[in-house]
Amino acid sequence: MKIVVGLGNPGKKYERTRHNAGFLAIDELARNARIELGLEKCHALLGKGVLGTEKVVLAKPQTYMNDSGRSVAALLKDAYATASELIVLHDELDLAAGTVRVKTGGGHGGHNGLRSLIEFLGTADFVRVRIGIGRPVPGMDTADYVLSPFFAEEREAAAAAITNAAEAVRVIVAHGITKAMNQFNQK
């Protein structure tokens, strides 16, 4: 079983923001796989189903970004799963808007959601699907930037990235991380 977690912040105020790219990708994945995100457990909205032939749990932690690790650690414990069965979808400042990259392990790179996961799980060795949101314009505060919606000229690329991130998860589950990296990490 794979535990697939999208990072973001709950509530209407945040739902279309850059920082919620992970939530948006989970919504896309759930919609395409016909998995309802109706269960509330472990401080998260959950949906259980199948991607290809693999059982999955899709989750959107409701603890807010900076405390995501608390929810994810509880999810793994509840499912008797380890970090090796975890796939995390998250926004990434260091990638241009519309870009998707797949990796395993690494640091948190200043991302507070990843920092929380690493702290609570005691490891950074989990699969990540990184959804590019680009950097703020000079003079704009980074926190304000990630908590704002995509600019009009970015929306098409952002929507494509959300779709590609969901597809990356399907490839990881069906064919493994190497195939996904080869497909999505092309320059």
pLDDT of residue 186: 80
Number of compact structural domains in the chain: 1
Band (165; pLDDT cuts 50, 70, 90): very high
Q: Find residue 103's DSSP bridge partners.
A: 128
For 38-85, the pLDDT digits (tens) are 999 999 999 999 998 999 999 999 999 999 999 999 999 999 999 999
Q: Which residues contact 64 (CB under 8 A, 6 or more apart)?
A: 9, 10
> Is 19 annotated in the active site?
yes
- Residues ≥6 apart with Cβ < 8 Å to 186: none
pTM: 0.96
CATH number for position 140: 3.40.50.1470
What is the residue range of 131's domain?
A: 2-184
Residue 187 has pLDDT above 80, yes or no: no
Alpha-carbon distance of 63 to 83, in angstroms, equals 19
* Spatial separation of the C-alpha atoms in residues 66 and 51, rounded to whole Å: 29
